[in-house]
Amino acid sequence: MSLGTTPPLVSICVVTYNHAGFIEDCLERLARQITTFPYEVIVGVDPSTDGTADIVDAVAARHPGRFRVMHHSERLGAFGNFRHTHHAARGEFVAHMDGDDIAYPEKLQQQVTALLNDKAASLCGHVVDLIALDNSSLSAQFPTQAEPQQRLFLDDALTKGSLFVHSSFMYRRQFASHLFGSSPEVIDYFFLIGFLIHGHAINLSQPLGAYRITAGGLTLALGQRKRVALFMDAYEDLLTRKIGPKDLILATAMADCSKLLFSDRELRARFLRMVFAAKRLPNPFRVLAIRRAKRLHGKVLQQAFQAS
């Protein structure tokens, strides 16, 4: 539905950098969404070297009133562009799209309908088809074995990890304050956790888009040490705020933050403080922490847990 002078119900935030081979298809598909409500497409364009900015402008010119294009004079980077673009959203619901991914025609309608019918949900994700750089199908989907209208909770994310790909998220903007905090980085996993604190997620089993497999997402763009340090910061914040199941959060934190611990003195010290706190874990959660740590880091971490 055309936006015109009507405030948008949905804002779609697209971040792009050097996506000349993909951005036109991405934006044209968003412009042709089949909806019964007004929506806007906000495109954050980091200075590119392959003509991406010109392609974005050409698509926007073909669809007057549909796009809001923000050209950055300096490169903000993946995280900065993400935050800047999402901060500009005006809709009650906000969807995210990377500039090299694809939305199927009824993506927005299906997700908005699901959220309107479930007031307790803070966000909605969906299954995506996985595609290669050349657009060929990889004959796979993520997440797998999804159930129609399945509800997913904070415990699910802490136990299973990331539940959706970034380009399948649609969230209620009223719960987005954690995206604009003091840290300049938004880790994919804690993007999800921040919303699950406020309500459950809806997992639509119908594929409503295609996700392009590349060398790595936003989280992998960080160095390994920085990534683990940010994970620790986020987990410690959850524990300090006493939000969610503390025992499960601690057990998950101990496993997820283990990858660099024995090669970095500062991170190792922070982790060992978690180990000592684990002495207070009820047995089922202690067993979970040991099992996950053993899978990730073998005997070294298992011994650290047992020594606690």
Q: Which domains does the chain have, with CATH numbers?
A: 10-220 (3.90.550.10), 223-307 (no CATH)
Q: What are phi and psi of 37, to 5 degrees?
A: -140, 160
Using the predicted structure, report yes or no on whether residue 68 has a pLDDT greater than 60: yes
Most confident range, picked from 157-171, 173-187, 234-248 = 157-171
Q: Which residue has the tokens 């009223």?
A: 174
Q: What are phi and psi of 237, to 5 degrees?
A: -65, -45
Q: Report pLDDT for 234.
A: 65
Determine the Cα–Cα distance for residues 71 and 90; give it in Å rounded to an integer.
Answer: 18
- Going by C-beta distance under 8 Å and a sequence separation of 6 or more, which residues neighbour residue 259? 224, 228, 296, 297
Q: Report pLDDT for 197.
A: 85
Banded model confidence at residue 147, pLDDT cuts 50, 70, 90? low
Q: What are phi and psi of 282, to 5 degrees?
A: -60, 150
- In percent, the amount of the chain with pLDDT more than 70 equals 62
Banded model confidence at residue 308, pLDDT cuts 50, 70, 90? very low
Q: Report pLDDT for 193.
A: 81
Nearest to 135 by CA among 29, 50, 241, 230: 29
pLDDT in tens, 247-274: 666 666 666 666 555 556 666 666 666 6
Banded model confidence at residue 229, pLDDT cuts 50, 70, 90? low
What number of helices (H) and strands (E) belong to the chain?
10, 12
Using the predicted structure, report yes or no on whether residue 282 has a pLDDT greater than 70: no
Q: Report pLDDT for 298.
A: 47
Q: Report pLDDT for 304.
A: 47
| Ordered alpha helix ranges (H), 43-139 | 52-62, 77-87, 107-117
Q: What is the mean pLDDT of the chain?
A: 80
Using the predicted structure, report yes or no on whether residue 201 has a pLDDT greater than 60: yes
Using the predicted structure, report yes or no on whether residue 290 has a pLDDT greater than 70: no
- In percent, the amount of the chain with pLDDT more than 90 equals 46
Q: Report pLDDT for 38.
A: 97
Q: Report pLDDT for 301.
A: 44
